[in-house]
């Protein structure tokens, strides 16, 4: 998926305007959750997201989706990761 398609998709699904997020090389965030639904399009690098005992790697062109309050962890590749992130309030 490209950025234009992602913008159109999230707008049609009621998400806020996507913002650009950049994470540091080889960084990570331990298990956490968000009070909102999130969708993100990877632009550069990669991110690995863990849900329970499962982990998945997302690379440029991939989209990941997290439900509100979904516990997960994140790890970023040796070049970090750059992605467009859109949020939707859980009450929407």
pLDDT band, very low/low/confident/very high, at 91 (cuts 50, 70, 90) = low
What's the pTM value of the predicted model, to 2 decimals? Answer: 0.92
**Alpha-carbon distance 83 to 33, whole Å?**
18
Domain boundaries, the chain: 3-89
- pLDDT at residue 81 greater than cutoff 80: yes
DSSP element (H, E) containing 5:
helix 3-12
The CATH class of 3-89 is: mainly beta
Report pLDDT for 52: 84
Is the dihedral angle over the CA atoms 49, 54, 59, 64 positive or is it negative? negative
């Amino acid at each position: 998926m490209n950025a234009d398609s992602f913008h159109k998709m999230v707008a049609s699904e009621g998400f806020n305007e996507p913002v650009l997020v950049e994470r540091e090389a080889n960084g990570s965030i331990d298990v956490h959750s968000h009070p909102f639904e999130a969708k993100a399009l990877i632009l550069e690098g990669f991110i690995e997201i863990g849900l329970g005992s499962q982990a998945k790697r997302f690379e440029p062109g991939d989209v990941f989706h997290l439900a509100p309050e979904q516990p997960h962890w994140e790890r970023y590749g040796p070049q970090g990761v750059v992605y467009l992130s859109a949020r939707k309030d859980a009450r929407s």
